[in-house]
Structure 1
Amino acid sequence: MNKKEFIGGIISDHKKTFDPDNLRDYVDVYLNEIQRNQGSPKSSELNDRNLDATLVQLFVAGTETTSTTLRWILLYLIANPDVQLRVQNEIDHVVGRNRLPRLSDRSQMPYTQATIHEVQRISSVPIIGVPHLASRDTTVKGYTVPQGSIVVPNIFKVDHDPAVWNQPWELMPERFIDENGNFCPSENVMPFSVGRRSCIGESLAKMKMFIFVSHLLHQFTFKKPKDETLSLEGIMGASYVPSDYKVQAIRRI
């Protein structure tokens, strides 16, 4: 089954069992909005084609970027065991050893959040952002951008610009911890692109990433296997991915 058939099947099954008084999930809510806005100006945007495109982003784009980011996180934690230990200490302090972390714990774990944020910056998985269209003539730092021009944000450049970041190629989660110990994300870190057409799955992705990372580090310590060589050099493609590597997962007691 290809991607189109998979997504189409989900929409078709939901239409067959749709009940406006029992909205079960995102697809039901979207179908309900299509019905509610029939004949209105919104009907040009709320349609099956856009529902299909939205689901493709949530399932396909979210799956690849999440898995790639997790690979980068494990790689950088192996290469920076002091950071890994500090995250584990924070998890143990907040959660203890008798249960797994929950989303409700996230606000009490600033260093864990900062570490995820910092790896998203330094790994720069998206490379470039979603193309935008200039809605009017404008000037940016002396350069004229005519109306109708396609504008593509260079996320990789911003993520590693020494004018923005001190030692941009060094993993430093403390960049995003303020003087009171709170997590302070930076708008210069743009793993979900930028502008009004940024990733619709941003909130979901942040929740997933926190759960994945906190659960893994609660249960395991990750190390480089003996005689294994690690490389922090990525491979450019549709996204920036790490080279293949092996990892040793040691169960924490």
Structure 2
Amino acid sequence: MLEILYRDEYLIAVNKPAGMLVHRSWLDKHETQFVMQTLRDQIGQHVFPLHRLDRPTSGVLLFALSGEIASKAAPLFAGHEIEKTYHAIIRGWIEQADVLDYPLKEEQDKIADKFARDDKEPQPAVTAYRPLATVEVPYSTGRFPTSRYCLLEMKPKTGRKHQLRRHMHHLSHPIIGDTTHGDGRHNRLFRDHYDCHRLLLHASSLRFVHPFSGQEIMIHAPLDDIWQRLIQVFDWQAALNSDDSVLAEKQHCS
């Protein structure tokens, strides 16, 4: 059963688990569980995705309840009229908030995009981010006896493929658990010492003006058990409770 975060006569949002594909894909022929099919069976009607989340990312995923509704709601995402907030645990400490404006070349799949042009110019990509909490753990990943990590809030202003993961890699602060753009030493530390085998990237909230009612909608996605456990271990509860981020609000509600 998927956790339903929001539902009206037009839209429905769920909290996508990490590791679950949004829909069936020939690239993953052996997978048997998909958000679209699971939600369709759960509510007894077809759903139409309005955006996507990478397979390893958890959090808010919004669907329309008909194709006609999807046609009207889809421009919200195409026009960047939806405010998306993500949270991640990254390698190292970031000291202050900033905005990264760093264009990204289109990232293509070796199979699905084998005939696509690879000479396109990099596309604009902008991410606002700010640190919420830090921790230094007594485990080494190299020449130092300890390792440092940071809880980061991010708001992408554009929607490039793997934008947040690639932007954090560009800053030399890769997201923990990222096997494509991350650092294997730190991923292994989290697997070995914290039994964490997932990408620590969570789509925390969506804020938008409802395309039919005109009301402002804010949808929050609670953190899963792995995230909750890490917050306890790193003693980040006080920082989150005193913070004005949407993550703090979820902590109170979970």
TM-score (norm 1): 0.26
Question: Computing the radius of gyration over CA atoms, which structure comes out larger, 1 or 2?
Answer: 1
Which structure dedicates a bigger proportion of its chain to helix?
1
TM-score (norm 2): 0.26
